[in-house]
Amino acid sequence: MTDRRQLLLDAAIRVLGTRGLRQLTHRAVDAEAGLPEGSASNAFRTREALVTAVFGRLVEVETAAWDQLARQLPPGDPAAFAAVLGGLIRQLSTEGRVLTLARYALFAEAAVQPALRAEVTAGRRRLAEWGLPVLAALGSADPPAHFPMLLALVDGLLTNQLAGPEDDFDPESAVAALLRGILPG
C-alpha cells in the first residue's frame, strides 16, 4: 500500500470513528488527511470503493493487533490469555476507541450492503484462522463452536464500554469467566 493511500485510509478511519458513516465523504477524508481536494476521489472513485478500502485497512490494523496478542501468549495458559485479551479490549475501548467505533459503523453498514457484508465475513474467517488454534492450545474441545462465543463476548464488552464507559471496566474477568465455562477443568 502506498503511503498516500494509507494516509487517506487512516484519515477515513478517523472521520468514520469520530463523525460517523454519514460524514464519511471524499472531501472530509481529504480535509482530515490534509491533502488537496480530489485526493480521496482519485484513489477511491466511489463511496463504496472508499468504504470497502477502509474496512480492508481496519482488518490490516486489527490483524496486526491480534498477531501481537498471539506473540504475548504463553501456550496453554488461560489466565495469561484472559489477561492479554482483557488488555487488548481495554486498549480498543480507550486509545483504540476511534478505530473500534469505525469498525462498528462498518458492521452496521454491512447489514445493508452485501459487498461489504462479504468483506466482513472474510475478515471474520481470517480472525478465526488465528483464533481457532489459540483456543485449541488452551484446551477447547470445540474451537469452532467456542470462537464465536469469544468474539461475541469481546464485541459485547466493547459495545457496552463505548456506549457507557465505566471506570471499573474489567474485561479480563469476563474473558476468564467465559474460558472457565468452555475449557475443561
β strands within 39-116, DSSP E: none
Longest dimension (CA), the chain: 60
Phi, psi of 76 (to 5 degrees): 70, 25
Checking if the pLDDT of 176 tops 80, the result is yes
Length of the chain: 185
Which one, of 3, 2, 105, lies nearest residue 54 by Cα? 105
pLDDT at 43: 96
Which one, of 16, 120, 106, 17, lies nearest residue 26 by Cα? 16
Q: Which residue has the cell 472531501?
A: 27
Residue-averaged pLDDT of the chain: 94
pTM of the complete model: 0.91
With both helix axes pointing from N to C terminus, report the angle between 114-138 and 78-93 in degrees, rounded to the nearest 10.
Answer: 150
Q: Sorting pLDDT into bands at 50, 70 and 90, what band is 130?
A: confident
Q: Using one digit for the tens of pLDDT, what is the confidence trace for 18-63?
A: 999 999 999 999 999 999 999 999 999 999 999 999 999 999 998 8
The angle formed by the CA atoms of residues 175, 178 and 181, to the nearest 5 degrees, is 150
55-182: CATH topology is Tetracycline Repressor; domain 2 (1.10.357)
Q: Using one digit for the tens of pLDDT, what is the confidence trace for 57-116?
A: 999 998 888 888 888 888 889 999 999 999 999 999 999 999 999 999 999 999 999 989
- Give the H or E element holding residue 182: helix 171-182
Q: Sorting pLDDT into bands at 50, 70 and 90, what band is 140?
A: very high
CB 1 within 8 A of CB 49: no
The structural domains of the chain, with segments of one domain joined by +, span 55-182
